[in-house]
């Protein structure tokens, strides 16, 4: 292989691949990036056997071919090179020579034949939408994914195409849930897949960088994304996602509307004395007012009230304050609406009647 490529182009591609590479993998070659040159382009790919990524950039190819080289080291080298200069890459006797300006590097390589291919599964349902929209959907939901490996099925995000032509993203750790819907404007075949955390994070990054449309393909065992010159594929979590629709309260009779920023600030202050592990706080709702309070095992206390729009009966609800703040953190508007029934039933939070995002939090018993 012998090519010349713009430093910025190859740096972007290598960085995307680098994100996928696991620092310590039992298979040594997976620490590497596969580089392949043919015709007028260079393709960089990387995989951890769960998530694979391939990024294509324009290159001037003097000699086609391929090699693999340590991802981290290649990335570090490219990062330090002159941003505006071209980079020349050439394989030679088990090494990759990198030349740019007056810099010369020689990095060890491994044969590309042993590198596992990033293979796309055929079939599945493909939909197109704005990259920015998909990124925003992930941003609004991914915080609720579980990190509890004993409940593998909750450690990802559900990507669902429903009968109303919507893409729904749902994440939950069993105590709170985040849901965001997006109308695709066309009927689609329904399907459900649990996408693992790592892939969710990478999909978001790719979409954030992509100004135009992306193609999302949801298959039987794999999810794929095409964004710009990048293709990402990921295995799915082979499990059943809980029936999330059952826990979204549709008929909570009480509604309180508060200032999002104010509630967030109050929770931040009150949490100082809440138990540092359980973050349990009490919300006392009464007409026109909410009193937020907390105490801890050292008998320390905090209390603060805020005005809000509420006219129902006095109700006290316990919460992990962290869960509420996570929701407030991904909302955009000025107001948060709190729909509840009593102190123990699931509480629904949203921004408006027609909000695309809904959040459910199970109260704590305190």
Partner 1 sequence: MTSRRVILHVDMDAFFASVEERDRPELAGRPVIVGGRAEARGVVAAASYAARRFGVHSAMPMRTALRLCPEAVVMPPRLPRYREVSARIRAVFSRYTPLVEPLSLDEAYLDITESLGLFGGAEAIGRRIKADIRAETGLTASVGIGPNKLAAKIASDLDKPDGFVVAPDDLTAFLDALPVSRLPGVGRAAQAKLDRLGIRRVRELRLAPASRLEAAFGARAATRLAALARGEDNRPVTSDREAKSISHERTFAKDVEDAGILRASLLAAVEEVGFRLRRLGRTASGVELKLRYDDFRTITRHRKLAAPTDATDALWGAARQLLDASWSGRPVRLIGMGVDRLGERVSQPELFAAPSPRPRVDAAADAVRERFGAGVLRRAAALQKRDQR
Nearer to partner 1, 190 or 345 (CB): 345
Query: How many Å apart are CA 43 and CA 101, to the nearest integer?
Result: 23
Measured from the CB atom, the residue of 174 and 229 that comes closer to partner 1 is 174
Task: Pick the closest to residue 326 from 273, 270, 274, 263 (CA basis).
Answer: 263
Rule CB under 8 A: say whether 316 interacts with partner 1.
no
Tell me: does residue 36 bind partner 1 (CB under 8 A).
no
91 binds partner 1 (CB under 8 A): no
Of the candidate residues 76, 92, 148, 189, the single one contacting partner 1 (CB under 8 A): 148
Residue among 43 and 320 whose Cβ is closer to partner 1: 320
How big is the site for partner 1, counted in residues (CB under 8 A)? 31
Q: Is there binding between residue 318 and partner 1 (CB under 8 A)? A: yes
Q: Is there binding between residue 344 and partner 1 (CB under 8 A)?
A: yes
Residue 2's SS3 state is: strand
**Pairing state of beta strands 125-130 and 213-218?**
antiparallel
Per DSSP, the residues of 148-203 read -GGGGGGSEEEEEE-TTSEEEEEEE-SSEEEEEEEE-SS----EEEEEEHHHHHHH
Contact pattern from residue 150 through residue 179 relative to partner 1, giving x for each residue in contact according to CB under 8 A and a dash for the rest: x---------------------xxxxxx--
Q: Of 276, 278, 303, nearest to 290 (Cα)?
A: 303
Tell me: does residue 142 bind partner 1 (CB under 8 A).
Answer: no
DSSP-assigned letter for residue 146: -
Residues β-bridged to residue 225: 216, 232
Candidates 50, 107, 346, 355: give the one binding partner 1 (CB under 8 A). 346
Please identify, among the stretches 43-51, 122-130, 334-342, 355-363, the one whose residues bind partner 1 according to the rule CB under 8 A. Answer: 355-363
State which of positions 252-311 bind partner 1 (CB under 8 A). 275-278, 280, 296-297
Distance between CA atoms of residues 265 and 252, nearest Å: 26
341 contributes a contact to partner 1 by CB under 8 A: no
Q: In what order do the strands lie in the sheet with 254-259?
A: 191-196, 156-161, 166-172, 176-183, 357-361, 347-350, 335-340, 254-259
The residues binding partner 1 (CB under 8 A) are 146-148, 150, 172-177, 242-243, 246-247, 275-278, 280, 296-297, 318, 320, 344, 346, 360, 362-366
């Amino acid at each position: 292989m012998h090519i010349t490529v713009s430093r910025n182009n190859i740096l972007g591609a290598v960085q995307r691949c680098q994100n996928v590479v696991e620092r310590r993998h039992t298979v040594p070659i997976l620490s590497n990036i596969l580089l392949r040159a043919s015709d007028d382009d260079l393709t960089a790919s990387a995989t951890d056997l769960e998530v694979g990524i391939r990024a294509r950039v324009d290159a001037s190819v003097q000699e086609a071919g391929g090699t693999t080289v340590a991802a981290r080291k290649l990335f570090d080298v490219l990062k330090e090179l002159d941003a505006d200069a071209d980079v020349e890459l050439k394989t030679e006797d088990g090494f990759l020579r990198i030349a740019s300006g007056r810099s010369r590097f020689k990095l060890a390589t491994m044969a590309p034949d042993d590198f596992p291919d990033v293979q796309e599964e055929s079939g599945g349902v493909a939909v197109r939408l704005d990259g920015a929209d998909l990124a925003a959907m992930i941003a609004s939901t991914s915080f609720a994914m579980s990190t509890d490996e004993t409940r593998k099925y909750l450690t990802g995000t559900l990507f669902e195409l429903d009968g109303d032509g919507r893409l729904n993203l749902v994440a939950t750790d069993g105590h709170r849930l985040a849901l965001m819907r997006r109308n695709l404007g066309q009927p689609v075949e329904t399907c459900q897949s649990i996408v693992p955390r790592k892939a969710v994070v990478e999909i978001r990054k790719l979409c954030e960088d992509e100004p135009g449309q992306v193609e999302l393909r949801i298959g039987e065992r794999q999810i794929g994304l095409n964004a710009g010159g990048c293709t990402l594929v990921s295995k799915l979590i082979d499990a059943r996602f809980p029936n999330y629709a059952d826990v979204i309260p549709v008929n909570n009779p009480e509604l309180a509307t508060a200032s999002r920023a104010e509630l967030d600030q109050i929770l931040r202050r009150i949490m100082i004395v809440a138990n540092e592990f359980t973050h349990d706080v009490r919300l006392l709702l009464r007409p026109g007012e909410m009193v937020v309070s907390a105490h801890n095992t050292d008998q320390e206390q905090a209390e603060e009230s805020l005005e809000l729009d509420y006219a129902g009966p006095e109700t006290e609800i316990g919460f992990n304050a962290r869960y509420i703040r996570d929701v407030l953190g991904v909302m955009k508007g000025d107001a948060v609406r709190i729909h509840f029934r009593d102190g123990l039933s699931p509480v629904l939070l949203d921004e408006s009647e027609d909000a695309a995002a809904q959040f459910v939090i199970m109260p704590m018993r305190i």
